Amino acid sequence: MKRPPAIPVPPPESAVPTRVTGKRPAGIAAPVRPIAEQKPLQKPVPGAVPNREQKSLADALQGAARDPGLDAASTSAPKPVPTSAPRSAPTPPLNAQRAQRAAEAEARAAEARAEKDMRAAERQRRHYERSEARRFTERSRRRRLGWLVSLGVVVALVLVVVFTAYSPMFAVRTVAIEGTSRVDAAAVQTALSAQLGKPLALVDYGAIEADLSAFPLIQSYSTESQLPNTLVVHIVERSPVGQIASGTGFDLVDPAGVTVQHTEQQTAGFPVIDLAGGQLGGPGFLASTTVLRTLPAELLAKVGSVSAATPDSVTLVLNGGAQKVIWGSAESSSLKALVLDKLIGTQNPDSRLTYDVSSPESPVIT
């Protein structure tokens, strides 16, 4: 059955809804969705500067939602302001990226190796410092130990000396005299009795010298301490080299002119010293005694007397008085004695002769 032509046929409904282009009647406000349901007008672009106008619009919409009396015209959504998207940086080539990553990995490996070397060097430095410190400490300890040992030895020696000096265990109880023949040993012991009871380290040697000076026959002396209680005095007596005639006999004298012994008769083996007007201990006397001391024992036994007016005029008279020797000075006495001994051996001892050996290289016999 057909529709009558007067009735218009409605167009078929489309599946796609059509957009109404008509204007909204005046006085009707557009519906406003909540702020949380509103979608952003534009996706944020990384690195882009935020649009202040959009922020102001959002604030205005929130205000309109809170105050429905606002005019719809004032709350109408403005058109979005187009913003330009930032231009992306050009992508480097793939090989360059790989090279860059390899360089970065190599740099990290080099840095790790450098840090490892630094740690090894630091450990080595600390080890060296510790070894040096130990060596220095050991050297200091040995030096300190040596000083302590030396100090201990010194202190021990001081204590021993002090104990020896002041201990009554080492006091002098015996004075021994050695080397005397003409000197009375008992008299010497009596003179040194003041040292008895004193410690050996505190013996007064000045007092000993003063006490022994009273004995003219003592030429020199020395002392020796023998532990625990003995003081030994070694005496060297004066030895006579000749004799001088005196009013009551003869005096045996040593080279210094000190009388060693007085006798009433002439003593054999000691020539008579004629001062020849000089003094005992004068230049002539000293020259004569010097010559007598240099003569050998066999030749000295043949000399009966000696005289010297001056140091250069020493004259010897042999036993018996028949032969005389002109000696001269005391110089070259050993050579003169050797020449004289040979000359005497060639002559008759009973002959009256004079031997001149003042020049030993050219002796003369008259």
175 lies in the same domain as 126: no
Q: What does DSSP assign to residue 202?
A: G
CA–CA dist 361, 340 (Å, integer): 11
Residue 87 lies in a domain: no
221 lies in the same domain as 268: no
CB atoms within 10 A of CB 28: 8
With helix as H, strand as E and coil as C, how does 243-309 read? EEEECCEEEEECCCCCEEEEECCCCCCCCEEECCCCCCCCHHHHHHHHHHHHCCHHHHCCEEEEEEC
Cβ–Cβ < 8 Å for 323, 354 = yes
Query: How many distinct helices (H) and strands (E) make up the chain?
Result: 7, 12
181 lies in the same domain as 207: yes
pLDDT value of residue 277 = 74
pLDDT value of residue 21 = 47
Cβ–Cβ < 8 Å for 335, 360 = yes
Residue 117 lies in a domain: yes
CA–CA dist 85, 49 (Å, integer): 10
Cβ–Cβ < 8 Å for 351, 336 = no
Q: Which of 139, 166, 193 is the last residue of a domain?
A: 166
257 lies in the same domain as 330: yes
Domain CATH for 267:
3.40.50
232 lies in the same domain as 271: no
Instruction: List, run by run, the mean pLDDT of 10-residue segments along the chain (366 residues).
Output: 50 48 50 50 49 50 50 48 52 78 90 91 89 83 87 89 79 93 92 92 92 91 92 94 90 90 89 85 90 92 92 92 92 93 89 92 91
pLDDT value of residue 75 = 44
249 lies in the same domain as 315: yes
209 lies in the same domain as 159: no
Residue 9 lies in a domain: no
pLDDT value of residue 247 = 82
Q: Which of 148, 166, 184 is the last residue of a domain?
A: 166
Residue 11 lies in a domain: no
Residue 319 lies in a domain: yes
Domain CATH for 200:
3.10.20.310
Residue 263 lies in a domain: yes
**Domain around 328:** 242-365
DSSP string, 208-231: HHHHHTT-TTEEEEEEEEETTTEE
pLDDT value of residue 14 = 47
138 lies in the same domain as 249: no
Number of domains within the chain: 3
* Best CA proximity match to 217, nearest among 173, 187, 248: 187
Three-class DSSP category at 87:
coil
254 lies in the same domain as 343: yes
Cβ–Cβ < 8 Å for 323, 349 = yes
123 lies in the same domain as 201: no
Residue 215 lies in a domain: yes
Task: Give the contacts of 216 (CB within 8 A, at least 6 positions apart).
Answer: 238, 258, 259, 260
pLDDT value of residue 53 = 46
Task: Give the contacts of 140 (CB within 8 A, at least 6 positions apart).
Answer: none
Q: Which of 131, 166, 201 is the last residue of a domain?
A: 166
CA–CA dist 366, 364 (Å, integer): 7
DSSP string, 139-171: HHHHHHHHHHHHHHHHHHHHHHHHHHHH-GGGB
| Paired tokens of 206 | 């000045």
Residue 6 lies in a domain: no
Helix axes 333-345, 283-294, angle to 10 degrees: 60
282 lies in the same domain as 348: yes
255 lies in the same domain as 329: yes
pLDDT value of residue 83 = 53
